[in-house]
């Protein structure tokens, strides 16, 4: 009996700034179990990062560090395809074709485009507007059926679905129409200084964000400064809509320690925020230190990282070439004369 064909999953992270605890708990950690069930491709989306001006040397360094981090967090190159977006030229080529079936009004309505335009008013470039089309290309190029994303990226996947369905209707069935794969836990880790906003690597306040490279002292310092409230009652450590800062710390503690939020509330009943924050710090540090040690070990073996990326690009290109050839034929482009 033939093996059952696994559904395909695609996702990626930009190699900009430092990966946050929110990125890890909300995305990367949740990718690891997917490797058992699905055919997974995980990409370092370096082309996306160019929508904001980058320091070239830092971008290259960050790309290698993110690859090592993927592996340190549990992504297995023997089970998943790990590669750099720019190493597969079909991403950019398909994006141009998809541009021709995407409407300006759709892109102008993207929440992320509006937000980034406000933050980078001096650099509102077409790449920033076309970001969702390149993301659609990333997904559709591999006929991915599932896309693990945070809530802030759902709108982009919905646009990808619209683009796929529009192309299929115009040129006949070509693309799989993907669905979001939302994590039930960790999808909305919040800023330590503004628990109404998500933890973001672009946050200018370093005390708002825990990064995966923060040492133990930095983690403890940031968590001791984390926003809570003035409640001094015996059950001040509780998960509640009117206590967003405390609720955020409880979520972090739960995800890092492996206990439920309800268990954590019972553990810290009658204890103050100082004791609670130190316990959260201990839980976070216990998660980060093994990852940091493994990432350091991997980065010392550049040849291994390069071999993973080389193999990943070859595997990804094999799929991408087939999809792009089909698309070119559907839209009427003449195949390359050999």
Contacts of residue 119, defined as CB under 8 A and 6 or more positions apart, other chains included, come to 202
Told to judge if 114 belongs to the known catalytic residues of this protein, a careful annotator would answer no
Told to judge if 151 belongs to the known catalytic residues of this protein, a careful annotator would answer no
Out of 116, 222, 243, 277, pick the active-site residue. 116
Do 200 and 211 meet the contact criterion of CB atoms below 8 Å apart? no
Max CA-CA distance within the chain? Answer: 77
Out of 190, 198, 222, 277, pick the active-site residue. 198
Out of 7, 18, 201, 322, pick the active-site residue. 201
**Percentages of the chain per state (helix, strand, coil), in multiples of 5:** 55, 10, 35
- Map residue 230 onto helix, strand or coil: coil
Told to judge if 271 belongs to the known catalytic residues of this protein, a careful annotator would answer no
In this structure, what token pair is assigned to residue 272?
Answer: 């103050």
* Cα dist from 174 to 78, 93, 143, 271, 330, whole Å: 29, 16, 9, 59, 8
In this structure, what token pair is assigned to residue 148?
Answer: 């693990």
Smallest CA-to-CA distance from 104 within 120, 135, 126, 136 is with 126
Q: Which residues are catalytic?
A: 116, 198, 201
């Amino acid at each position: 009996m033939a093996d059952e064909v696994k559904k395909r999953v695609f996702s990626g992270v930009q190699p900009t700034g430092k990966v946050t605890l929110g990125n890890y708990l909300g995305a990367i950690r949740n990718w690891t179990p997917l490797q058992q069930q699905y055919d997974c491709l995980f990409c370092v989306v370096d082309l996306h990062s160019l929508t904001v001006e980058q320091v070239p040397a830092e971008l290259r360094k960050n790309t290698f560090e993110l690859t090592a981090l993927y592996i340190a967090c549990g992504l297995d190159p023997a089970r998943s395809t790990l590669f750099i977006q720019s190493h597969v030229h079909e991403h950019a080529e398909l994006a141009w074709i998809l541009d021709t079936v995407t409407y300006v009004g759709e892109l102008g309505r993207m929440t992320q485009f509006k937000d980034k335009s406000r933050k980078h008013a001096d650099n509102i470039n077409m790449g920033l507007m076309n970001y969702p089309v390149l993301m659609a290309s990333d997904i559709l190029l591999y006929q991915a059926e599932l896309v693990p994303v945070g809530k802030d990226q759902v709108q982009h996947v919905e646009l990808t679905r619209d683009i796929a369905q529009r192309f299929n209707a115009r040129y006949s069935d070509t693309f799989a129409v993907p669905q979001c794969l939302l994590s039930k836990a960790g999808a909305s880790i919040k800023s330590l200084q503004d628990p109404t906003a998500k933890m973001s690597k672009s946050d200018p306040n370093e005390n708002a964000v825990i990064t995966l490279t923060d040492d133990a002292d930095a983690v403890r310092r940031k968590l001791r400064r984390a926003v809570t409230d003035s409640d001094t009652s015996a059950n001040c450590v509780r998960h509640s809509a009117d206590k967003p800062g405390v609720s955020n710390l409880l979520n972090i503690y739960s995800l890092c320690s492996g206990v439920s939020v309800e268990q954590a509330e019972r553990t810290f009943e009658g204890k103050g925020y100082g004791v609670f924050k130190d316990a959260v710090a201990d839980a976070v540090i216990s998660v980060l230190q093994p990852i940091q040690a493994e990432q350091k070990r991997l980065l010392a073996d550049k040849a291994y990282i390069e071999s993973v990326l080389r193999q990943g690009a070859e595997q990804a290109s094999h799929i991408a070439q087939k999809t792009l050839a089909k698309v070119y034929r559907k839209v009427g482009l003449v195949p390359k004369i050999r």
